[in-house]
Amino acid sequence: MMNNLKQPTHYGFWMPGEFEPHKSCWMVWPQRGDTYRLKAGPAQKAFVEITRAILEFEPLNVCISKEQFEYAKGKLPRQVNLVEMESDDAWVRDTGPSFIVNKHREVRGVNWEFNAWGGIFSPFDKDAALAGNILTHEQIHQYNAPLILEGGSFHVDGQGTLITTEECLLNPNRNPDLSREDIESYLKAYLGVKKIIWIKKGVFMDETEGHVDNLCAFARPGEVVITWTDDQTDPQFEISTQAYEILSRAIDAQGRKLKIHKIHQPGPLFISKEESFGFDKVDDAKLRKEGDRLAGSYVNFYMANFGIVMPLFDDPKDLVAMDAIQKIFPERKIIGVHTREILLGGGNIHCMTQQQPLSA
C-alpha cells in the first residue's frame, strides 16, 4: 500500500473513541513460551474465552502464525475470521495499527514504529511489521508515523482529547531524541487530537512502563474510569491519587471538566510458587518469579459494540468491580473473563485487542 507523505490531519482524519461503533476487533493468537507459562497452553484457554465473549458483540479477526494455524483453528470458535499472519507476541493493542476516520467514515490506519517496549523483549521484527501487514490485508491506506509508540500507551475520546503518561512516552528508551513538545506534535498530527492530558505514572509494577490503558480509560466523552485503592500503604495509592488530581483539574478539548469513576483494583496480586514455573528460560531477567507483584487492573477491559469484556482474577473484588462497571455503562452488557494466565504474561484483555472502526 502506498504511503502519503502528508499527515492524516491534513486530510481531516482523527482517531475515534473505543466506545464508538466497530466493524470488527483484531487479536493475535498467543504462543510465546517465554511470555506465557506451560508453552502458552493456559493462556490460550483464557484467550479462547475472551474470543467467545467478544463474538457476542462484534466480528473478530485472529492472526495466527503458520506454525500454530491448524492447532488454533481447532480451538477457536468457528465464527472467528482466521488470518495467517506472523507475529512475535499477542499484544496487538501495542503492535497493531491505530485506525482513524474522517467525517465520511472513511477508515485509514497509522503504523507506528515499535521497539518492544524499549527493547525489553526480542525478537520483535515480526511485531514491528504487524500493523503494516494488517492494514495491507484490509487494503486500508496507511501512514507510517516516525514515532515509537504503543497503542496501550494512550486513550482518546474521539473529540480531540488524549490521555497518556509521562512514565511511558517520555521514557528515554522510546524516543530519546524527542522532547515532550515533539511527541505532542506527532500525536496531534497522526491522531487528530488537540488536547493532551499527561498523567505521571501508570499502574505499579506494570512492565510496559506506564501504559495508560491499565490505569484509566475514557468511558465516553467527558468521562473516565480510573484504577483505585484506598490502602494508603500500597504504592498504587500515591499513583492513583496523583492521577485523580491531574484528571480532576483537567479541561478536555471541548472545554469540559472530566467526570471520574474509581474502580478498586484487585488484590494486590502476586505470583505464586506454582505460577513461577513453566516459562521458557531465556534469561533470568525475563522470568516470572514467586512473589513478584502483578499489575492487575479491572480497567484493562475492551469496549465492544454494546458490551464490555473485562478481566476477572478469582479475587473477592471481582463482583464489586463488575457491578461498578455495569453502573458506569448501563447501556452495555458486561462479560467477565478469568484472565490471570494472561496477566502472568504481562498484560490483559485491552492489551490483546484492537478495534477497527465502522466505515461508511
Active site residues: 351
Instruction: Decide: 311 and 337 in contact? Cβ < 8 Å.
Output: yes
The angle at the Cα of 39, spanning 34 to 43, to the nearest 5 degrees, equals 90
Q: Grid cell 485472529 — which residue?
A: 62
Host H or E run for residue 73: helix 69-75
Q: What is the DSSP string of 279-346?
A: ---S-GGGS--TTPEE---TT--EEETTEEEEEE-S-TTHHHHHHHHHHH-TTSEEEEEE-HHHHTTT
Q: How far is CA 314 from CA 283, 299, 318, in A?
A: 30, 16, 7
CB 141: neighbour CB atoms within 10 A?
Answer: 18
Cell numbers placing 171: 521514557
Per-residue 3-state assignment (H helix, E strand, C coil) for 57-72: CCCEEEEECCCCHHHH
